[in-house]
Amino acid sequence: MIEFRTEPASYRHWQLSVDGRVATLAMSVDEGGGLRDGYELKLNSYDLGVDIELYDAVQRLRFEHPEVAAVVMTSAKERIFCAGANIRMLATSSHDHKVNFCKFTNETRNSIEDASAHSGQTYIAAVNGPCAGGGYELALSCEQIVMIDDGSTTVSLPEVPLLAVLPGTGGLTRLSDKRKVRRDRADVFCTLEEGMRGQRAVDWRLIDEIAPRSKYDDAVANRTAQAVAASDRPAAAKGIALTPLQRTIDGDNVSYSTLTIEIDRTQGAATIAIQGPAEAPPEGTDAIQAQGAEYWPLRLARELDDAILHLRTNENEIGTWIFQTSGDCDLMAAHDAALAAHRDHWLVREVTLYLKRTLKRIDVTSRSIYALIEPASCFTGTLLELALAADRSYMLDGQFEGDNRPPALASLTAMNFGPYEMVNGLTRLQSRFLDEEETIAALEQRQGEAMDALTAEAAGLVTFAPDDIDWEDEVRIAIEERAVFSPDALTGMEANLRFGGPETMESKIFSRLSAWQNWIFQRPNAVGETGALPLYGSGQRSEFDKRRV
């Protein structure tokens, strides 16, 4: 089982240090520290384990170090920045592991970009040695790139000429959409094994600055000083500790403090049941900060994040996820009101951004997502986002016979109208009602309204509203049919339908790139006996099927 929970004391691949307003994340990969046997992580190459630590470090910088306004990402090793994803790992991994690996690394890069864009914590890549493939993609995730000008350090994306695959962590998209590299120049760069160095790399916008060894440290320091001066991070604030997550796995049941998972292997389904808050939110930001990692919205974000990663990586035959909730809708609304009221406070901002990123993980996960809204549910505001993220939602009209629990209700809050954008840059309501501004405006006026099933169905918030007579059969059939369809066809169908509207850099990465990489990773030219990945480093030339498909 791959474990996503870690902490700095357990890091094997990264060195995290903080000096006042500036933090340094130095890559120093343990060659023998791969997730499994069969490859060595030479030249600061990485596997999923390296990226799990990086993701943890990024999270801790956001929550535990509010004083940090600039983060320098560099290498602790001489004459190498990062050689990218480990080729032996890719060559010997299962197809699904390769694709999940690329998805998680992209999400980690997105979290770095999110910190630079929304948290006042600017990431600066200090490239102090050759920077290839996924290593350059790591640098691309930073807001700025400073490269040492020593005659040998280059940046490169050699995946196409060397490996017959694409830069899997969004390299192509970040070149064109983020760094605005011209298409013709990007074409040259991405087919050049040796990469580029010096002034041409600056002129082509591949990096921001070069500096000789004698002036390199000063160049990096100047950029961090500018980032610190422009940041709104509170220099005197005290961070909160991200204490270890508590999780129990008992057979097919997984338990956290805010949610449980029950796996039905016969149906290939996992029911994720979330318990809403049991208490009112703390009054004021000082009280929120005093709760630290026990603050309910933060606990939910951390635990749901881990649950998604666990299911996605370790339970890849469980193709349907069913979201259920329970709890007090008024308490959930009160927590949302506190998030909205204190949105400018650094900690509340980070919690909201964390919830946004976690909900995005659901959107880009290749699973069928259902929501079941039943008596005593708590699909209000933030938790209603789970139903809006679902491919289908079922809401019971009325009550079950003999059930004295309150009827199912759904309710909108301010959190449904902006804070939780999807990868396409739209809220889930905007994605649901594309170009229907009047519909969105009308729904915004209905915040706080407790909608029953028929009202929610008429408002377009749920898919079906069966009564207690039809409920069991409709839900059962929906789950059973999903289990007999082709998982590949479902993944393609779901991904096509989830991201209507405009394209962004993120939506391109998770739809266009994922689709192409998924296909390329199965082609003989990449992974066949004479393909580029198995033969890499052997001295043998790949034998390609020359037909364009």
In a shared domain, residues 365 and 478: yes
Residue 522 lies in a domain: no
Position 511 scores a pLDDT of 82
In a shared domain, residues 261 and 209: no
Taking alpha carbons only, the member of 523, 514, 516 closest to residue 104 is 514
pLDDT greater than 90 at residue 513: no
Residue 206 lies in a domain: yes
pLDDT greater than 90 at residue 236: yes
pLDDT greater than 90 at residue 514: no
In a shared domain, residues 226 and 257: no
Q: Please list, in sequence order, all residues whose beta carbon lies within 8 angstroms of the beta carbon of residue 404, skipping any fewer than 6 positions away.
A: none
Position 387 scores a pLDDT of 98
Q: Measuring CA to CA, how many Å separate 343 from each of 313, 327, 337, 362?
A: 33, 24, 10, 23
Domain edge (last residue) among 494, 509, 541: 494
CATH number of the domain that 422 lies in?
Answer: 3.90.226.10
Residue 260 lies in a domain: yes
Position 295 scores a pLDDT of 98
Q: Enter the tokens of residue 373.
A: 């809204």
Strand partners, 273: 260, 324
Position 362 scores a pLDDT of 98
What digits encode the pLDDT tens for the residues 238-284?
Answer: 999 999 999 999 999 999 999 999 999 999 999 999 999 999 999 99
In a shared domain, residues 293 and 411: yes
CA distance 67 to 22: 8
What digits encode the pLDDT tens for the residues 39-68?
Answer: 999 999 999 999 999 999 999 999 999 999
Name the H helices within 145-295. Answer: 171-173, 183-189, 198-203, 213-230, 285-291
Number of structural domains found in the chain: 2
Q: Measuring CA to CA, how many Å separate 72 from each of 54, 125, 142, 244?
A: 13, 6, 9, 26
pLDDT greater than 90 at residue 549: no
User: For the chain, what percent of residues have pLDDT higher than 90?
Assistant: 96
In a shared domain, residues 107 and 148: yes
**Pick from 411-425, 477-491, 513-527: least confident:** 513-527
Confidence of residue 518 (pLDDT cuts 50, 70, 90): confident
Position 410 scores a pLDDT of 98
Average model confidence (pLDDT) across the chain = 96
What digits encode the pLDDT tens for the residues 58-103?
Answer: 999 999 999 999 999 999 999 999 999 999 999 999 999 999 999 9
Position 515 scores a pLDDT of 82
- The pairing of beta strand 379-380 with beta strand 320-326: unpaired
Range of the domain at 422: 248-494
In a shared domain, residues 198 and 318: no
Question: DSSP states of 99-121 as a string?
Answer: HHHHHHHHHHHHHHHHHHHHSS-
Q: From the centroid of its chain, how far is CA 253? A: 24
pLDDT greater than 90 at residue 191: yes
CA distance 135 to 150: 18
What digits encode the pLDDT tens for the residues 452-475?
Answer: 999 999 999 999 999 999 999 999
Question: DSSP states of 301-366 as a string?
Answer: HHHHHHHHHHHHHH-TT--EEEEEEES-HHHHHHHHHHHHHTTTSHHHHHHHHHHHHHHHHHHTSS
Position 517 scores a pLDDT of 84
Question: DSSP states of 506-528 as a string?
Answer: HHIIIIIIHHHHHHHTTSHHHHS
| Residue 458: φ, ψ to 5° | -65, -30
Residue 443 lies in a domain: yes
Residue 525 lies in a domain: no
In a shared domain, residues 134 and 277: no
In a shared domain, residues 267 and 398: yes
What digits encode the pLDDT tens for the residues 292-316?
Answer: 999 999 999 999 999 999 999 999 9
In a shared domain, residues 185 and 221: yes
pLDDT greater than 90 at residue 15: yes
Mean pLDDT for the stretch of residues 530-545 = 93
CA distance 291 to 272: 25
Residue 307 lies in a domain: yes
Mean pLDDT for the stretch of residues 109-116 = 98
Residue 43 lies in a domain: yes
In a shared domain, residues 263 and 165: no
CA distance 87 to 43: 11
Position 465 scores a pLDDT of 98
Mean pLDDT for the stretch of residues 372-399 = 97
Strand partners, 313: none
Tokens 């200090």 sit at which residue?
Answer: 126
Position 53 scores a pLDDT of 98
Residue 134 lies in a domain: yes
